[in-house]
Every structure is written in C-alpha cells, then in structure tokens.
Amino acid sequence: MGNALRFLCGQCCKPTAAGDSESLGHHGVSAATVGVSALAHDIFNFEITSQVPEGLSKHVVPSKKAQANWYRTLLEAWRESKPPPKTPEEAARLIIETLKRHQKADVEGLLFFYGLPLPSTLVELTAGAPTSLPEGVQYEFETLPVDAKAVADGDTVTVYVNTTDPRESSCVLGDVQLAAVQRSQARAQKNYAKADALHKKIIDSGYRVLNFQNNEEILCRRYRIRLRGIDAPEGGMPYGEEAKEELTKIIQGKRLRVLAYGNDRYDRCVADLYCNGKFVQEIMLKKGAAWHYTAYDKRSELATWEKQARAKRVGLWASPNPEKPWDWRKNRREGR
C-alpha cells in the first residue's frame, strides 16, 4: 500500500469518540471525515482484510462479492493515480471512471455512502493546458505548492517560485542572496533575533525563505496573482467566502503553471492558471464562483462558461439577481 493511503488513514480517519452518535455520517465515522479520507480508510482496510465496509449494502444492490470486486478495482486505481485523490471531486471522478461499466444507481449509491459529489454535480472541463504559449503571454513559471492561507479571495492568490528556477536565478537581488546566507548562519548560531530581522528584509524585497521537508530551506520569489478574465465576489459580498473556498479547494497544495500577461495597476501579475493540466478560470466560471470580467477580457469561451453556470443556476447564480463585483466596489468607493 502506498504512503499516500497510509497518510490519509493516519491523519484523517481517526475513530470517532464513543457516544458521539449524532456526528456520524452514512459511513459510520464523523461527518467531518466522510469523503476522501473515509474512502482511503476503506480501501486500505480492504487490502488487509478483504472486507467491504459495513452498511454499504443499504445504498447499493450488488452482493458483497460484487462489492469486493469494486474495492479490488478501486485499490488498483488508487495505487496508479499520481497524485492520489485529495479532494472530494477527485475521489468522485476516480470512482466514476473506475466503475464506469457498472450500473449508474450503484455508482451513485457508493458516492452517496461517502458523501462525495454525484456525477450530475461535477463540472465537465474542456480547456486543457496549452502546448504553446498563447498570444500576449509575456512569461510563464511553475509555482511551489500553494498554501491555503495564500488565497485572498476567489480571484487572487499569492504564490512562490523557487529562485533556482532558471528564469528567477538570474535576477535575484544580490542583497537578498546575501541576507539569505546571513540568515542561515544566524539560525545556525541560534541568533534568532538577527535571523528574523534578516528574513524581514528578504520579505520586504519580495522574497521569502520557506521550510520544506527535512528542514530544507528554499529562497523563493513572491508573486501576487490576479486570475485573468474573471471577477469573483468580494469577501463582504454574498457568495464571497464560497468563491474563496472554491479556489482554495482547486489549488491548495498544488503546483501551478502560470501564464503571465503582465501586471495590473496594483502590481499584481495578471495570469491564466493551470492546475494538473486544468484551466482554473474554467472551473471557477462553470461552478458559478465568478463572473466573466468582460471589461478586461473578451474571450468567448469565458462568456460561454459563465452562461452555462447561469443556466444551471449554480453557485452565485442561485440568486436571481446577484450584484456584480465591480458595481459593489464602485458603490463602496462612493460611500453608497
């Protein structure tokens, strides 16, 4: 069994406290853990015991022998997935694809058992990552894994790029490089006050030292990204928090491919983002988590994706007349 499954089981599938029956989901664990971690737990348990979870038969028709065949197939699919599913949508897609030859009702029953999205709620994506740079792209780069705390709202995120990247290495300021070396020396000498002061200097210059596994420290450049072509509800607006959560779910812990078109008046990098080959703006629009920002982007596909979300009344379009973010900001500026 791969380390990914063991990690999920160890971190996410801790037993529910005895007597806490009201918090139990269909799977028999706390509602907070129903989903990816519960599925990982059961696949891991199946490999050891060859037993399917209790209670599954209430949601699907086939016998336990048939259910065992499902889990055997899912085990192989999970092992082969790189990386393994981390979000409910990724887990749902793995189940749907792996068991696509089975009855729809049984697949949906299995998804319901784990509290995972049903096929009708999943977004079908059409735009893959480009094989050549589109017109207008000034440069591209790959980020380090994105921290959830770096997502400001549904269309803005702060990312970091390793300065050993060829594009970055040639333009790191000498003062920043020197400060990074001196900070490392100060920490080795346990002079943490000096190390913190040097790190502040590094941060003020647009960089940061990040800690990774095995206490490896990496000097990184900071980029504040404004997703090109979409405008998500602001934090103080209806659906603002949901839009932020949606973007976080898509990119948290992932390395992003960034196609940069330049900077806006707030010195943010205006860019298209791709996560595991998927166009982030497409996902946000199809889920009704953002508007097509027509004032700055005329791409017809963005208009189409917004129209599809409107027709399905998903996300912010569940409201009959949602306020446009640009109107909301204007009203705030004018004190209305």
Report the catalytic residues.
226, 234, 268
Q: What letters, b where the CB count within 10 A reaches 16 and e where it falls short, cover 290-326?
A: bbbbeeebeeeebeebbebbbebebbbbeeeebeebe
Residue 99 Cα to chain centre, angstroms: 25
Integer Cα distance of 314 and 309 in angstroms: 6
Residue carrying structure tokens 């696949």: 43
* CA–CA dist 121, 35 (Å, integer): 15
Instruction: Retrieve residue 143's tokens.
Output: 């980020």
Distance CA(158)–CA(139), nearest Å, equals 17
- CB-neighbour burial class of residue 213 (10 A; exposed 0-12, middle 13-18, buried 19+): exposed
Query: 27, 53 in Cβ contact below 8 A?
Result: yes
